[in-house]
A and B are shown apart, each in its own frame.
Chain A
Amino acid sequence: GENVEQHPSTLSVQEGDSAVIKCTYSDSASNYFPWYKQELGKRPQLIIDIRSNVGEKKDQRIAVTLNKTAKHFSLHITETQPEDSAVYFCAASSNYQLIWGAGTKLIIKP
């Protein structure tokens, strides 16, 4: 079955710098890759997603890239701000459900 690995588990960056979180997946048939943000004590919320017919997608300071050949996708956050501090989860679709990465705790240092 599908397996999604996410790295790093914790990422600490200076405010204003960029952050990159990477995920790899195993099922070449996966075709949908969302990213969710979960602030402390809150629910996960979708921040951006990409489908397999697209290589890159941007939404203001966040972007996702997908390399289907290598079976990996990444989340890029530019000009990080304190409100970006959260746990970020990647996921990949497989058959009838999403398979989740383990999460990355992003810490923004002032």
Chain B
Amino acid sequence: DAGVIQSPRHEVTEMGQEVTLRCKPISGHDYLFWYRQTMMRGLELLIYFNNNVPIDDSGMPEDRFSAKMPNASFSTLKIQPSEPRDSAVYFCASSLTAKAGELFFGEGSRLTVL
């Protein structure tokens, strides 16, 4: 397996624009996580899915953020409208379990909002 695949790797956009980040988890992994990483706040869990169903979205910072998982092999994280404070690296990760097994991270999407 190629691992968790994220796109785009880098995105530069202007404030107010819509941003869509994409993730393909490892085949067979039932859990998918979206994390945000910044220097100030470290690694923050935004939302996670189990079998394509959102289980906990309490980490989603605002209504501007939304995530979907239409099938077992694809998830999106959307920010609309984007703001400069959304600038961060967004990681997608997948796992066989929710909390007691290895998380496999994608390479991340570095978002810069001007």
Give the complex CA separation of A45 and B48 in angstroms. Answer: 18
- Report if B103 contacts A (CB, 8 A): yes
A97 and B56 contacting across the interface, CB-CB below 8 Å: yes
- Report if A61 contacts B (CB, 8 A): no
B102 and A97 contacting across the interface, CB-CB below 8 Å: no
Dominant SS among interface residues on chain A: strand
**Residues 57-94 of A at the B interface (beta carbon under 8 Å):** 89, 93-94
Q: Which of B18-26, B71-79, B80-88, B104-112 contacts A (4 or more CB under 8 A)?
A: B104-112
B43 and A46 contacting across the interface, CB-CB below 8 Å: no
Q: List the A side residues contacting B48 at CB < 8 Å.
A: 97
Give the complex CA separation of A44 and B43 in angstroms. Answer: 10
Find B42's partner among A34, A95, A100 (CB 8 Å cutoff).
A100
Instruction: Give the size of the chain A interface in residues (CB under 8 angstroms).
Output: 22
Q: Which residue of B lies closest to A31 (CB)?
A: B100
Give the Cβ gap from A5 to chain B, nearest Cβ, in Å. Answer: 12
Which chain A residues have a beta carbon within 8 Å of chain B's beta carbons? 31-32, 34, 36, 42-46, 49, 51, 89, 93-98, 100-103
Which chain B residues have a beta carbon within 8 Å of chain A's beta carbons? 42-43, 45, 48, 55-56, 91, 98-103, 105-108
Query: Contacts A93-B100, A97-B45 given; 12 further ones with Cβ under 8 A?
Result: A32-B100, A34-B102, A36-B103, A42-B107, A43-B91, A43-B107, A95-B99, A96-B99, A97-B48, A97-B99, A98-B103, A100-B43
- 27 pairs, A vs B, C-beta closer than 8 Å: A31-B100, A32-B101, A34-B103, A36-B103, A42-B107, A43-B91, A43-B105, A44-B43, A44-B105, A45-B105, A49-B102, A51-B100, A89-B42, A93-B99, A94-B99, A95-B99, A96-B55, A96-B56, A96-B98, A96-B99, A98-B45, A98-B103, A100-B42, A100-B43, A101-B42, A103-B42, A103-B43
